[in-house]
């Protein structure tokens, strides 16, 4: 059973998220909280697989909470749930270590699929967020491309759109194992050890 923690200060939305997840057989909400004041305690107590994190909360905001989580846990998958769709919030969340970014207005339709996607290694994003990220990457270029091959750039670009390994393999006509090999090479060249770090570096340095 996949363990999920929810941090959302809006009580009705928090309850709605719990009810939505309760409709599934493979997910369980281990805890739902209005703030992150006991964040470290919760991590030790519940050992979550996925965290759904609001950005705008009293006390510790969501982006700061993600930074704190990454100091002690690089494995848990973190999906931001927010009304903010501007560059600063999106990129700051990704830089902090978030794995996905969903606008709250799409939560009812996309949440469960996004949780499954992030557990498969994808980086789920609302369509408008993914478009903004890609346009930002296309409009800029980095002086250092880390000697990425054209295929590696294609895969990095596809990862940034939130595509899973399986979808990337289908789009490029290659096997999933080949995709994994290319991604390993990307990690080596970018000197990172995870998809979140690779995407963060790609966004920060405008890699395409």
72 in the same domain as 123: yes
* Conformation bin of residue 132: beta by default, left when phi > 0, alpha when psi is -120 to 50: alpha
Whether 75 and 36 share a structural domain: yes
User: How many CB atoms lie under 10 A from the CB of residue 135?
Assistant: 10
Judgement on whether residues 42 and 98 belong to the same structural domain of the protein: yes
Indicate whether 33 belongs to any domain.
yes
Same domain, 66 and 145: no
Phi and psi torsions of 99, nearest 5°: -100, -20
Residue 163's domain comprises 140-205
Please state the domain count of the chain. 2
Is a pLDDT exceeding 80 seen at residue 114?
yes
DSSP 104: G
pTM of the predicted model over 0.85: no
What pLDDT is recorded for position 138? 61
Q: Are residues 56 and 122 in the same domain?
A: yes
26 and 72 part of one domain:
yes
Is 22 found in the same domain as 111? yes
Looking at every residue in the chain, the average pLDDT score rounds to: 90
Do residue 6 and residue 74 come from a single domain? Answer: yes
Task: Note whether 149 and 51 are same-domain residues.
Answer: no
* 144 pLDDT higher than 80: no
Judgement on whether residues 78 and 176 belong to the same structural domain of the protein: no
Could you report how far apart the first and last alpha carbons of the chain are, in Å? 37
Segment 30-68, tens digit of pLDDT: 999 999 999 999 999 999 999 999 999 999 999 999 999
* Position 133 in a domain: no
Judge if 73 and 174 occupy the same domain.
no
Examine the domain organization and report whether 123 and 64 are in the same domain: yes
Whole-number Å distance between alpha carbons of 63 and 43: 16
Of 47-56, 83-92, 182-191, give the lowest mean pLDDT range. Answer: 83-92
Q: Give, in degrees to the nearest 5, the angle at Cα 6 between 62 and 77.
A: 75
């Amino acid at each position: 059973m996949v363990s999920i923690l929810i941090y959302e200060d809006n009580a009705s939305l928090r309850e709605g998220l719990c009810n939505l997840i309760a409709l599934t057989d493979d997910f369980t909400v281990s805890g739902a909280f209005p703030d992150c004041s006991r964040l470290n305690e919760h991590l030790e107590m519940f050992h979550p697989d996925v965290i759904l994190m609001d950005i705008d909360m009293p006390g510790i905001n969501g982006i700061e909470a993600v930074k704190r989580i990454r100091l002690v846990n690089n494995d848990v998958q973190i999906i931001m749930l927010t009304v903010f769709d501007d560059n600063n919030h999106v990129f700051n969340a990704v830089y902090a270590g978030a794995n996905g970014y969903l606008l709250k207005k799409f939560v009812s339709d996309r949440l469960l699929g996004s949780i499954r996607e992030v557990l498969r290694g994808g980086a789920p994003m609302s369509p408008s967020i993914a478009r903004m990220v890609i346009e930002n990457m296309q409009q800029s270029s980095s002086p250092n491309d880390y000697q990425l091959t054209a295929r590696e750039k294609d895969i990095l670009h596809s990862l940034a759109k939130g595509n899973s390994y399986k979808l990337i393999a289908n789009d490029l006509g290659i096997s999933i194992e080949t995709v994994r090999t290319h991604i390993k090479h990307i990690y080596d060249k970018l000197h990172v050890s995870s998809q979140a770090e690779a995407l963060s570096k790609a966004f920060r340095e405008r890699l395409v």
